[in-house]
C-alpha cells in the first residue's frame, strides 16, 4: 500500500512542479513578446527616442489601469531591454524566472550572461543565489583562476548557495508572479522571508561586534517532555563565559514572549550549561512595521551579574534596535528596487 501511495504522490508532485514552471515561463514569454512589439512599434516612428519615451509612458498608464501593479514606465523599459538582450526566443530557459532575467540584464558581458544562464538552469539557483554569484564576480573569478584551483572556487560557491536552491513552489512566492497573475501577496510568506533575512543580518552583526561572541546554533530544536521548541539563534560569549539565546518575533512584544524566553533559558541551562559557565542570557527582538522592541531576559538571581559585568560586552538594546531598523529599511528598499 505504501508503494501504491508513493506512486500517486509522485504524480501529484510532478503535476504541481509542471504547473509552477508553466506559470513562470508563460510570464517570461509574455514579457519577451511585449518587448518585441514595443521595439517593432518604435522602429516605425519618425523619431525613435522621443516616440519610444512617449510610447512607454502611454503603455505604463494603460496597462497599470487594466492590469494593476508591475507595469510602470521603468518596468516597461526593462521589458524592452529584455527583448533587445535576448532576441532569440527559443534560447529562453524555462527554468529561469523573470526575476532571474532582470538580474541578468545587469550583466554587460554577453559570455558571462550565457554562462550564468546555463549554471542557473543546471544548478537550480534561486534568484538570490544568482544575485550572490553575480555580485561576487563568480564567472570572472573562475576565468582568473588556474585550472587546478577552479574546483576550490566552485566548492566555495556551492557552499554559499546550498541553502538557496530553487524549489518549484517558490515560484509562486515571487511578487512579480503574483502581480502577473493579479493575486494578492501572501503576507505570511513575506513575514517569514523578512524574519529569515533579519536573522541572517543579526547573526553577522553579533559576530562582528568583536566582544567575544561565537556562533553555536540556529533554529536549535529543544525537547521538553512531549513539546518541541526552536530557539532562533544561540551564541556563546567566551569573555563572559555564558550562552546568549536570541528569539526574533514579527509583531508586538507580549508577556508570553518574555515568559517563553525565560523557559528557553532554563531549558538550555539544564541541557547544555556546564558547571563553570555563567548564567544564560535571553534576548527578545520584536519588530513591527513602525517599531522595534528589544528586551534582555535575565533569570532571577542573575540581575546583579548582568548589571555589573554582562552589560560591558553585550550590545545595548538601543544598538540592537538601530541595527534591526536599519536592516528592515535596507531589505525593503532592496525588494522595491528589484
Q: What is the pLDDT of residues 86-105, one digit of tens each?
A: 988 888 998 898 889 999 99
The confidence score (pLDDT) of residue 99 equals 87
Average confidence score pLDDT of the chain: 79
The confidence score (pLDDT) of residue 129 equals 83
pLDDT digits (tens, 9 = 90+) for 251-272: 777 778 888 888 888 888 888 8
The confidence score (pLDDT) of residue 46 equals 47
Please check the confidence at residue 300 and state whether its pLDDT lies above 80.
Answer: no
Please check the confidence at residue 83 and state whether its pLDDT lies above 90.
Answer: yes
Domain identity same for 159 and 277: no
Number of domains in the chain: 2
> Which of 205, 204, 236, 199 has its CA nearest to residue 218?
199
Average pLDDT over residues 52-78: 84
Domain identity same for 218 and 328: yes
Domain identity same for 12 and 122: yes
Answer yes or no: is 221 within a domain.
yes
87 or 288: which leads in pLDDT? 87
pLDDT digits (tens, 9 = 90+) for 323-335: 887 777 776 666 5
The confidence score (pLDDT) of residue 89 equals 87
Domain identity same for 159 and 196: no
What percentage of the chain has pLDDT greater than the value 90?
Answer: 13
Task: Name the band, by pLDDT with cuts 50, 70 and 90, for residue 81.
Answer: very high
Domain identity same for 148 and 210: no
Which residues 6+ apart lie within 8 Å of 193 measured at CB?
Answer: 173
23 or 113: which leads in pLDDT? 113
The answer for 315, left when phi > 0, alpha when psi is -120 to 50, beta otherwise, is: beta
CB 197 within 8 Å of CB 203: no
The confidence score (pLDDT) of residue 113 equals 93
DSSP H/E element including 185:
none
Sheet holding 227-237, edge to edge: 213-224, 227-237, 242-250, 281-287, 292-298
What percentage of the chain has pLDDT greater than the value 70?
Answer: 76
Answer yes or no: is 186 within a domain.
no
Domain identity same for 146 and 119: yes
The confidence score (pLDDT) of residue 181 equals 64
The confidence score (pLDDT) of residue 177 equals 64
CATH number of the domain residue 315 falls in:
3.40.1350.10
The confidence score (pLDDT) of residue 79 equals 94
Q: Contacts by 111-114 with C-beta closer than 8 Å and gap 24+?
A: 112/139, 112/140, 113/85
Q: CA 243, CA 270: separation in Å to the nearest integer?
A: 12
Answer yes or no: is 36 within a domain.
yes
Residue 154 belongs to domain spanning: 2-180
The confidence score (pLDDT) of residue 82 equals 95
3-class state of residue 254 by DSSP: coil
Domain identity same for 237 and 164: no
> What are the backbone angles phi and psi of residue 56, rounded to the nearest 5°?
-65, -40
Task: Name the band, by pLDDT with cuts 50, 70 and 90, for residue 302.
Answer: low
> Which of 331, 212, 328 has its CA nearest to residue 278?
212
C-alpha cell recorded at residue 194:
523578512
Q: CA 27, CA 25: separation in Å to the nearest integer?
A: 5
Distances (CA, A) of 324 to 95, 290, 298: 34, 12, 21
Answer yes or no: is 38 within a domain.
yes
Q: CA 43, CA 226: separation in Å to the nearest integer?
A: 70
The confidence score (pLDDT) of residue 256 equals 80
pLDDT digits (tens, 9 = 90+) for 27-41: 899 999 999 999 888
Domain identity same for 93 and 58: yes
Domain identity same for 196 and 176: no
pLDDT digits (tens, 9 = 90+) for 119-147: 888 888 888 888 888 888 888 887 777 66
Domain identity same for 218 and 131: no
250 or 266: which leads in pLDDT? 266
Amino acid at each position: 500500500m505504501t508503494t501504491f501511495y508513493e506512486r500517486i504522490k509522485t504524480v501529484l508532485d510532478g503535476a504541481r512542479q509542471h504547473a509552477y514552471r508553466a506559470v513562470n515561463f508563460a510570464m517570461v514569454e509574455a514579457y519577451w513578446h511585449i518587448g518585441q512589439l514595443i521595439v517593432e512599434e518604435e522602429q516605425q516612428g519618425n523619431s525613435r527616442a522621443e516616440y519610444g519615451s512617449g510610447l512607454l509612458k502611454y503603455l505604463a498608464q494603460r496597462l497599470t489601469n487594466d492590469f494593476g501593479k508591475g507595469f510602470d514606465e521603468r518596468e516597461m523599459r526593462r521589458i524592452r531591454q529584455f527583448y533587445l538582450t535576448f532576441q532569440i526566443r527559443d534560447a529562453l530557459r524555462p527554468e529561469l524566472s523573470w526575476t532571474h532575467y532582470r538580474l541578468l540584464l545587469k550583466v554587460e558581458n554577453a559570455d558571462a550572461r550565457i554562462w550564468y544562464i546555463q549554471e542557473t538552469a543546471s544548478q537550480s539557483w534561486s534568484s538570490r543565489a544568482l544575485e550572490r554569484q553575480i555580485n561576487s564576480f563568480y564567472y570572472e573569478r573562475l576565468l582568473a583562476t588556474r585550472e587546478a584551483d577552479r574546483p576550490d572556487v566552485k566548492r566555495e560557491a556551492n557552499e554559499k548557495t546550498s541553502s538557496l536552491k530553487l524549489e518549484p513552489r517558490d515560484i509562486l512566492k515571487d511578487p512579480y508572479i503574483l502581480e502577473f497573475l493579479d493575486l494578492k501577496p501572501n503576507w505570511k510568506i513575506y513575514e517569514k522571508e523578512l524574519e529569515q533575512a533579519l536573522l541572517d543580518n543579526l547573526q553577522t552583526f553579533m559576530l562582528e561586534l568583536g566582544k567575544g561572541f561565537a556562533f553555536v546554533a540556529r533554529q536549535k530544536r529543544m525537547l521538553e517532555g512531549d513539546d518541541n521548541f526552536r530557539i532562533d539563534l544561540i551564541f556563546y560569549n567566551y569573555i563572559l563565559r555564558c550562552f546568549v539565546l536570541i528569539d526574533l518575533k514579527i509583531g508586538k512584544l507580549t508577556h508570553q514572549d518574555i515568559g517563553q524566553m525565560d523557559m528557553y533559558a532554563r531549558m538550555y541551562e539544564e541541557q547544555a550549561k556546564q558547571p563553570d559557565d555563567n548564567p544564560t542570557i535571553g534576548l527578545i527582538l520584536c519588530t513591527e512595521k513602525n517599531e522595534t522592541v528589544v528586551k534582555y531576559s535575565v533569570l532571577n538571581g542573575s540581575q546583579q551579574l548582568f548589571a555589573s559585568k554582562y552589560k560591558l560586552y553585550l550590545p545595548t538594546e538601543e544598538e540592537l534596535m538601530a541595527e534591526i531598523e536599519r536592516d528592515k529599511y535596507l531589505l525593503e528598499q532592496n525588494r522595491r528596487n528589484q
